[in-house]
Structure 1
Amino acid sequence: MVGRRTVVIGAGVVGAALADELSALGWTDIVVLDQGDLPATGGSTSHAPGLVFQASGSKVLTDLARYTVEKFVALEHEGQSCFLQVGGLEVATTPERLAEIHRRHGWLTSWGVEAEVVDADRCVELHPLVDRDRVLGGLHCPTDGLAKALWAVEAQIDRAKSRGVKFLPRHEVTDISVADGKVVGVVTDHGEIPADVVVCCAGIWGPKVAALVGMNLPLTPLAHQLAWTGPIPALAGQTEEAVRPILRHQDADLYYRDRYDQLGIGYYGHRPMPIDANDLLPVEYAEVMPSVLEFTPDDFAPAWDETQALLPATLDAKVEEGINGVFSFTPDGMPLLGESPEVSGFWVAEAVWVTHSAGVGRAVAEWLANGHSESFDLHECDLNRFEDYQLVPEYILERDCQNFVEVYDILHPLQPMDSPRELRTSPYYARQQELGAFFLPANGWERPQWYEANKGLLDRYQVPQPNDWAAKYWSPIVGAEAQATRDGVAMYDMTALKRLTVTGPGATAFLQRLTTGNVDRTVGSVIYTLLLDVDGGIRSDVTIARLGPNHYQAGVNGALDTDWFNRFLPADGSVVVTDITPGTCCIGLWGPKAREVLSGLTDADLTNDGLKYFRAARFSIGNVPVTAMRLSYVGELGWELYTTADLGLRLWDTIWAAGQDHGIIAAGRGAFNSLRLEKGYRSFGADMTFEHDPYEAGVGFAVKLDKGDFVGRDALLRRKENQTRTLACLTVDEPADVVVGKEPVFADGRAVGYVTSAAYGYTIGKGIAYAWLPADVATPGTPVEIGYFDRRVRAVVAAEPLFDPSMTRLRG
């Protein structure tokens, strides 16, 4: 198979991996360009220290790193492995970091990577330079190590060349030719090369290259300090390049690696040093290489002091050389992979470090060849995941610099960014502030987590105290709000839910093609349905309301869903997809007294016969026209009430005033999450992602196989016959044992799965955790354990839903 004419821009560790992987899949009409020489092109790969630590709270980053390790270990350069598998050691010098190390060990266990938490003596045994009195323990991962990045580049280039791939060094890209919205060629200083596919693997030059097709790539090159000591007497006579584990001292933003009798020292503790990609020097003008800037000793001084304290042997040495090496950072710390939404055939594989390079090469090669990656769940890496506000240059720069600062920080899953804040606020924001809302950002919106005004509810409701980690960004008011919702009525701000309209004469056929459900129902119907990829994996779960014969409103999960819809739009203009989120708002009014609150505000028939469960209607609440959908993600009677942003405050005030005689409260996302887990409602991105199919995720009811063809249907039928895992509900008896998510699950002493979402169920009086488990373990009544920091928490597989299985409250 020749494949489409493909030009890869950048022959660093990512471009070389992509050429190797894509040619291995049979594509041979591939040209790889670079402005520099081969294999040291002058980009980040050329000076990268090569440390590969696999631990990450992101499953896909660990998966990408694990593949990189496995490939580089087997990859040879002149008869030697391209990976020195000396292991990795992260040391803790504070109790907080030791707890974090246990959490990181849990991640590795969840994702299937061998590791262990070791005591201080073992840390010194593994790395004798470490001062025993400074460390409390460490995390040892024996499969970590040092990638010989340039060797790996050369080895992969050789493999790709053997399959017919052409590499053209000293070719600077000056333009990308586009015709009718598609790439047709790459213009270089040596002429134009025709292309059907162009993949930008230009690293720190990525924003400059992407700008040639009008793309604002959310990436900032930042300088990062790397220094080398002179000879260390304690290492005298070391004849192998590396014999000790690569070392991280994250409490001080430091890492270390051997180089014979010297040490390399990397430092993230200095001020952010951003660089405009357009200001990077061309290869021929750079003194060393474009990605290497002059070392700034004053910035490094704290790192050297801390190094001498942690590794006393360095007191007999000095820093002899150093660089400020330039690497790529993004607003959320994840790679940028995928195809441009505006220019067909223009792809990027950017913001990828050596650690994940081979994995990314494989993932993008599979994506190009098959329409999806068979090996990796890339929803966190997709280029098109960002909202418009996240693509503003000021936002990109600020967030990228903050991610540099936080790269080794201990971050709680709910920890909000400090800045920028108040980017998006609903019309209810002023009222929420008056009620003492504690806000956490969601899709850029300020969303209440709980309200201090509800503190008085604690006189009525008992709320157990969770453990210290689970209690961060939590208040007992969360539990009181959850119980008050079950007993009375509550208003929830649902504005952060992304909303699209799909209109036009082709709207019905379009949605029938894209979703697993049957949208061709009567006007006023609402369905819960799924978007699948071509491999049958879940891309999203959505609700779709038919508001007119050719008018639908879809509640989706984010920008990736918008991008997916747009990629399938018919060329004849018969379908229009519009993001109405900024101009609309939504209140979720839920609880057994919800009907009583609304009954005096509208002439609409809100009885069960008048507006049935999962039906929509348009009417007025006071002076405010609304679109009301009778559905609930907290498992109680009520409606999602949509109106335009200009009338949002009036809607809030109208409902609030009417609810005073019924004990109405405003409730936050903390209560919402507890209530939705009691009902077993899945959350895309946490409980299920691209790698899961509907049947194993427990949402097979949303698949209507009898409606005809839809995207992913054939693949789903094949997957349906081979179900080996399932998303299971676990309960925990002790309130203090509530977990947070991503913890490993053990059965009979062995790790068998991992937690996705978790919360305390205030109605049922138990902790709840959803987890991916082998099908033969996920039987109700099966005892399991959850690895939580340095403990094992007892749990049991439970039948779901835990609350109101007969659905009487929802349909009441």
Structure 2
Amino acid sequence: MAEYDIVVVGSGIAGLSSAHQLADQGRVLVVDRGAVGQGTSSRASGVITTPVDYPDLPKWASRAIDSFRELDGRGVFTFDEQPFIRLVHSPAYAAMVRGRDDAVMLGPEESMARFGDVVSSPGAEGVAVYDNVGTCDVSAFLATLKFECERRGVDFRPDTTVTGVRVEDGRVVGVDTEYGPIDADDVVVAAGSATPDVVAEHVELPIRPFTWNAVYLDVDGDVTNWPMGGDTEHQLYWRTMPTGDLLVGRENQTFDADPKIDADFERLVDEDLSTFFAFDDFDVVRWETCPIPDATTPDARAIIDAPAAAPEGLVVAAGFHGAGVMAGLAIGDIVRSYVTGEAVDLEVEAFALDRFSDLGRDFPFCSLWD
């Protein structure tokens, strides 16, 4: 008998979500090279806008948001439901919003009347206002997921690097770690940008690391009641923080191995914020770039799959491009379907590896906003 029924590699949102949804399938172990929940996921902003970032996957988006409501009040976690606004510059995007039942498209005059103290939208189509979204404290979310996993009997082994997946006769038999092998019947690799290296002997994954940039602003005026939002033209998002600062974030749209503030983002903050924010006076509290790389794919959408080319019993879940935390337990739902063979009413094929004809890692950057 194997030491564990399932080993999950990685304790970010993908790993914790998977372990949480698989906890009733026997002995489950989560292994991470660092502290539990302290990788890339811990750097997320806490903007939970799954319907906005996955507009073509309504079942996935709905399940993700429902999972935050399901966890609300457990442990130290709370989910703060509030609207999200997006400045819209494309007639096609405006038309898409008008066809949704969870969003309202406001024209320029109406949006200025409602949000004039927050945003300015000269030349824009207006503002899309999304419901069924919210914010959370990410550290509380990850801590609560860990607590819920432990309550369900999941074991954790932090500070342990997994060096590879062990396979015999085409079937997973466990993982190798720096401290020796761990036997398991199934292995879920959810190790972010390290995932391709962990599974390299068995399957190719088109996943590359990149970073996010953020700036914290001390704005002249009270921003505590501002809605969270984003701008389609400048491809950035914002939210107010408990400190009273305004957080503005954006992808660093390169694959530079040295995390740094993107020059275009710095210029945008220094020169262009007044083109969509209705304030002129602010001080930069600090610039921030993720010290831990995020992971992305050629289309900026994750891979959650048991690839046909991979050995039996191997599932991967990685490449979420900053939209992983907001997926909540929906990640674990799809992972569970591959491990157990149970059907799941989600858009599973949207995350399948075979949507890519080229599995190489030398692909151009694709923005999540695209």
> Smaller-chain TM-score range?
0.7 to 0.9
| Structure 2 counterpart of 1:33, from 28, 31, 34 | 31
Matching of residue 6 in structure 1 with residue 3 in structure 2: no
CA distance in 2, matches of 1:312, 1:323: 26
**Post-superposition offset of 1:314:** 5.2
**Post-superposition offset of 1:315:** 2.3
Matching of residue 63 in structure 1 with residue 62 in structure 2: no
**Post-superposition offset of 1:149:** 2.5
Amino acid at match of 1:350: A
Contact residue 225 and residue 324 of structure 1 kept, 8 A: yes
Q: Quote the residue 2:237 is aligned against.
A: 255
Q: Quote the residue 1:234 is aligned against.
A: 221
SS at match of 1:143: coil
CA distance in 2, matches of 1:69, 1:100: 22
Deviations 1:576-596 (A, max 9, x none): xxxxxxxxxxxxxxxxxxxxx
| Gaps in structure 2 of 5+ consecutive residues | none
SS at match of 1:46: helix
Q: Quote the residue 1:331 is aligned against.
A: 298
Q: Quote the residue 1:359 is aligned against.
A: 330
Matching of residue 381 in structure 1 with residue 348 in structure 2: no
Matching of residue 129 in structure 1 with residue 118 in structure 2: yes
Counterparts of residues 745-764 of structure 1 (less than 5 Å): none
Amino acid at match of 1:120: P
CA distance in 2, matches of 1:271, 1:163: 40
CA-based RMSD? 2.7
Contact residue 22 and residue 366 of structure 1 kept, 8 A: no
SS at match of 2:349: coil
Q: Quote the residue 2:315 is aligned against.
A: 347
CA distance in 1, matches of 2:60, 2:119: 30
CA distance in 2, matches of 1:314, 1:265: 15
Call closer, same or farther: CA 1:39–1:176 in 2, change over 3 Å: same
Call closer, same or farther: CA 1:296–1:139 in 2, change over 3 Å: closer
Matching of residue 196 in structure 1 with residue 185 in structure 2: yes
Counterparts of residues 206-221 of structure 1 (less than 5 Å): 206-211=195-200, 213-221=201-209
Contact residue 59 and residue 347 of structure 2 kept, 8 A: no
Counterparts of residues 765-804 of structure 1 (less than 5 Å): none
**Post-superposition offset of 1:222:** 1.5
**Post-superposition offset of 1:196:** 0.8
Contact residue 250 and residue 265 of structure 2 kept, 8 A: no
SS at match of 2:329: helix
Deviations 1:466-516 (A, max 9, x none): xxxxxxxxxxxxxxxxxxxxxxxxxxxxxxxxxxxxxxxxxxxxxxxxxxx
Deviations 1:288-340 (A, max 9, x none): xxxxx343556521244222332132523225222146322212332211213
**Post-superposition offset of 1:133:** 4.7
| Structure 2 counterpart of 1:244, from 226, 235, 253 | 226
SS at match of 1:18: helix
Q: Quote the residue 2:17 is aligned against.
A: 17
**Post-superposition offset of 1:10:** 0.5
Contact residue 97 and residue 104 of structure 2 kept, 8 A: no
Call closer, same or farther: CA 1:99–1:301 in 2, change over 3 Å: same
SS at match of 2:233: helix
Q: Quote the residue 1:143 is aligned against.
A: 132
CA distance in 1, matches of 2:172, 2:62: 33
Pairs aligned (count): 361
TM-score normalised by L of structure 1: 0.42
Task: Report percent identity of matched pairs.
Answer: 21
SS at match of 1:159: helix
CA distance in 1, matches of 2:64, 2:183: 31
Q: Quote the residue 1:612 is aligned against.
A: none
**Post-superposition offset of 1:182:** 1.4
> Greater RCO between the two (CA within 8 Å, min separation 6)?
2
Contact residue 121 and residue 132 of structure 1 kept, 8 A: no
SS at match of 1:334: coil
Call closer, same or farther: CA 1:348–1:259 in 2, change over 3 Å: same
Q: Quote the residue 2:108 is aligned against.
A: 120
SS at match of 1:216: coil
Q: Quote the residue 2:271 is aligned against.
A: 305
Counterparts of residues 185-584 of structure 1 (less than 5 Å): 185-211=174-200, 213-229=201-217, 231-235=218-222, 238=224, 243-260=225-242, 261-268=244-251, 271-275=253-257, 293-296=259-262, 299-313=265-279, 315-324=281-290, 326-340=293-307, 341-352=309-320, 353-369=324-340, 371-387=341-357, 390-394=358-362, 397-398=363-364, 401=365, 403-404=366-367, 407-409=368-370
**Post-superposition offset of 1:5:** 0.8
**Post-superposition offset of 1:256:** 0.8
Amino acid at match of 2:159: R
**Post-superposition offset of 1:356:** 2.0
Deviations 1:521-551 (A, max 9, x none): xxxxxxxxxxxxxxxxxxxxxxxxxxxxxxx
Amino acid at match of 1:148: D
Contact residue 91 and residue 138 of structure 1 kept, 8 A: yes
